[in-house]
């Protein structure tokens, strides 16, 4: 396609820093009704997808994020049967969720169908579970979907969204959390990508407050590495409709029947221990 830059650089305003990957060529670019999608072939990180200039994933490091968005929440639930993923159009989180045999249905609600169609083309390994009969792919607004969801119909809601701007802005507020709380069965878990702890601690604090405000009794934030995202260090925040998130099905995680590259029972335990500055700021 067009003459490539030799580096794809994402400049990050809030952190005053940038992330860059050396690229061989641009594979695709299009403007959808929701966002600009760009896909590059990099020299060392496989393919890279960016939405509105923000890096969503690379072939090489997406396992860190996708495993941490799925497995801590699913192993914290005693019997996750029905899972809803909001966003997640690259389908990597869906693939991880469907590795759990007890999951009977996983619904992915992505606003932009083009993200999924391009992931099928450029990240086929992430889409290998899309034909699983337990998977349902919907292309609609996740905010409206959760607002209309039947009460107590879901075990785990995973919010795998873009940053809290544009179509994802409404996924970080009280009314969305209220919808999730209502849709979850008792003991149900909401997990949301919660941005970089080093530079977005105030946002994480607000998210946690709002989650508690709508009724989630237990809230935990788990940090993990993610080279392709601002600061290289990311987090997810889990909230339970019921007490306590410190325990999980540790034996199940130790003897899991599927392969992972980052997640393990010990990594899960370690992720529940917060660094001092986070512990102090978040009051854990």
- Which residues contact ligand SAM by CB under 6 A? 34, 51, 56, 65, 86-90, 109-112, 115, 141-143, 160-162, 167-168, 171, 193
Kindly state the smallest distance separating residue 141's Cβ from ligand SAM, in Å: 5
Return the number of the residue (96 or 160) whose C-beta is nearest ligand SAM: 160
DSSP conformation class of 210:
H
Kindly state the smallest distance separating residue 226's Cβ from ligand SAM, in Å: 8
Residues 280 and 201 sit within 8 Å (Cβ to Cβ): no
Q: Which of 160, 163, 244, 266 is catalytic?
A: 160
Please give the angle made by the CA atoms of 94, 96 and 102, to the nearest 5 degrees: 95
Kindly state the smallest distance separating residue 120's Cβ from ligand SAM, in Å: 13
Listed in sequence order, the residues at least 6 apart from 166 whose beta carbon sits closer than 8 Å to its beta carbon are 34, 35, 52
Count of CA atoms in the C-beta half-sphere (13 A) of 120: 8
Torsion of CA 274, 278, 279, 280, to 10 degrees: 160
Kindly state the smallest distance separating residue 47's Cβ from ligand SAM, in Å: 13
Return the number of the residue (171 or 201) whose C-beta is nearest ligand SAM: 171
Return the number of the residue (142 or 188) whose C-beta is nearest ligand SAM: 142
Residue with nearest beta carbon to ligand SAM: 87
Alpha-carbon gap, residue 202 to 182, rounded angstroms = 26
160 as an active site residue: the answer is: yes
Supply the Cα-derived Rg of the chain in whole angstroms. Answer: 18
Return the number of the residue (200 or 249) whose C-beta is nearest ligand SAM: 200
Give, for 208, the enclosing helix (H) or strand (E).
Answer: helix 201-213
The two beta strands, 47-51 and 184-193, are unpaired
For the annotated catalytic residues, the residue numbers are 160
């Amino acid at each position: 396609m067009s003459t490539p830059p030799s580096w794809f650089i994402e400049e990050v305003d809030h952190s005053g820093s940038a992330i860059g990957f050396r690229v061989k060529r641009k594979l695709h670019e299009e403007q959808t009704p929701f966002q600009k999608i760009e896909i590059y072939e990099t020299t060392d990180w496989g393919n890279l997808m960016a939405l509105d200039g923000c890096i969503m994933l690379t072939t090489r490091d997406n396992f860190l994020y996708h495993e941490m968005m799925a497995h801590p929440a699913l192993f914290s639930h005693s019997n996750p049967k029905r899972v809803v993923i909001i966003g997640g159009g690259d389908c990597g989180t869906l693939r991880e969720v469907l590795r759990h045999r007890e999951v009977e249905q996983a619904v992915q609600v992505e606003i932009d169908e083009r993200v999924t169609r391009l992931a099928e083309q450029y990240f086929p390994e992430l889409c290998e579970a899309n034909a699983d009969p337990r998977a349902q792919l919907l292309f609609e607004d996740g905010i409206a979907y959760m607002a209309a969801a039947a009460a107590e119909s879901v075990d785990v809601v995973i919010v795998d969204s873009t940053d809290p701007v544009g179509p994802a802005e409404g996924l970080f507020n009280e009314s969305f959390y209220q919808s999730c709380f209502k849709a979850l069965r008792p003991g149900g878990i909401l997990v949301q990508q919660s941005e970089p702890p080093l530079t977005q601690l105030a946002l994480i604090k607000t998210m946690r407050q709002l989650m508690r405000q709508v009724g989630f009794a237990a809230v935990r934030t788990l940090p993990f590495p993610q080279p392709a995202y601002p600061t290289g260090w990311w987090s997810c925040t889990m909230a339970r409709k019921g007490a306590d998130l410190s325990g999980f099905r540790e034996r199940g995680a130790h003897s899991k029947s599927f392969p992972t590259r980052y997640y393990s029972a010990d990594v899960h335990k370690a992720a529940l221990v917060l660094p001092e500055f986070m512990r102090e700021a978040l009051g854990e």
